[in-house]
Amino acid sequence: MAAAGFSRIALGVEYKGSRYRGWQRQASGVLTVQETLENALSKVADAPVSLLCAGRTDAGVHACGQVVHFDTQAVRSMKAWVMGANINLPHDVSVSWAREMPAHFHARFKAIARRYRYVIYNDQIRPAHLGEEITWNHRPLNVAHMAEAAAHLVGTHDFSAFRAGQCQAKSPVKQVHHLRVSQHGKMIVLDIRANAFLHHMVRNIAGVLMTIGAGEREPQWAREVLESRIRRTGGVTAHPFGLYLVQVEYRDEFELPQRYIGPHFLTGFDLPE
């Protein structure tokens, strides 16, 4: 709950994670998204600002639908929070909206679903553009086999086999609402929505699906990995550059702004909302 005399402000945030060591501020002083955004907002508030986010992204991972909140005694218009933050932010972090929230809102604990997209550029030649915003795979990938494999992972399961060793989640059981695989020219997009995610869960799923798409394993292998509950069964963790946090969902009572589902370079594609 926000303390007496404080307002609770929620922000929509997007960022290119390539040069950051993830979302979370670190004691070592390395560059993080949290510290960068807190520094910008502190200038607007003329006082220190401390942020809490909906989902802590890893080093190199991007976001176009991150939600954060902070408590402040500063009185500013919502436009001032957005424009003031953006004036003080570097080119690869942007605030898209601001909204004053009830005191019981919490960016992380009130979220009811999160959604990621993992973007693969599938071509023999490495692309000169978007190099840090997509994952390049030179092997021809069978999208139909990837989609068949993805179906095994939809539903409520123990995702221990897709969980990083340093994951701090209390339970490996998560509910995947959908896991779609679609192709758009040379782009293959994995779109996954769940109630919550384990550390490296999406990247480990992407690694399994690309292995299957390359013909190294049959689609049934995705279920075998899942049922093993052993991380090493699933092979390598996919690269972070293709991963985007695209949406965080909350109950209607909070009336948060709804934007298109990113990333930006996919907005012209026929992707389901």
Domain ranges of the chain: 7-110, 113-245
**What pLDDT score does 1 carry?**
65
Of the listed 58, 92, 158, 191, which one is catalytic? Answer: 58
* Range 193-231 burial, b when 16+ CB lie within 10 A, else e: bbebbbbbbbbbbbbbbbbbbbeebebebbeebbeeeeb
pLDDT attached to residue 258: 86
pTM of the model: 0.94
Q: Residue 111, CB half-sphere, CA atoms under 13 Å: how many?
A: 24
Average pLDDT on 71-81 reads: 96
Q: What is the C-alpha separation between 240 and 244, in angstroms, rounded? A: 9
For the stretch 183-199, pLDDT in tens is 999 999 999 999 999 99
Same fold flag, 7-110 and 113-245: yes
Q: Where are the strands (E) in the chain, listed by range? A: 7-15, 52-53, 62-72, 93-101, 113-122, 135-137, 155-158, 173-184, 187-194, 243-249
Residues 7-110, CATH architecture: 2-Layer Sandwich (3.30)
Mean pLDDT, range 32-53, rounded to an integer: 97
DSSP 139: S
Cis peptide bond upstream of 263, omega within 30 = yes
Contacts of 60 by beta carbon, 8 Å cutoff, 6+ apart: 17, 18, 20, 132, 239, 240, 241
Sequence-distant (≥ 6) Cβ neighbours of residue 249 within 8 angstroms: 111, 112, 113, 114, 115
CB 145 within 8 A of CB 162: no
Q: Taking a C-beta distance cutoff of 8 angstroms, is the pair 70, 41 a contact?
A: yes
Q: Evaluate if residue 230 carries a pLDDT over 90.
A: yes
Task: Give the relative orientation of helices 143-151 and 221-228 as an angle to the nearest 10 degrees.
Answer: 40
CATH topology of domain 113-245: Alpha-Beta Plaits (3.30.70)
Q: Is 191 a catalytic residue?
A: no
Q: Which amino acid is at 40?
A: A
Mapped onto helix, strand or coil, the DSSP state of residue 144 is helix
146 and 181 in contact (C-beta within 8 Å)?
yes
Q: Is the separation of the CB atoms in 55 and 108 below 8 Å?
A: yes
pLDDT at 11: 98
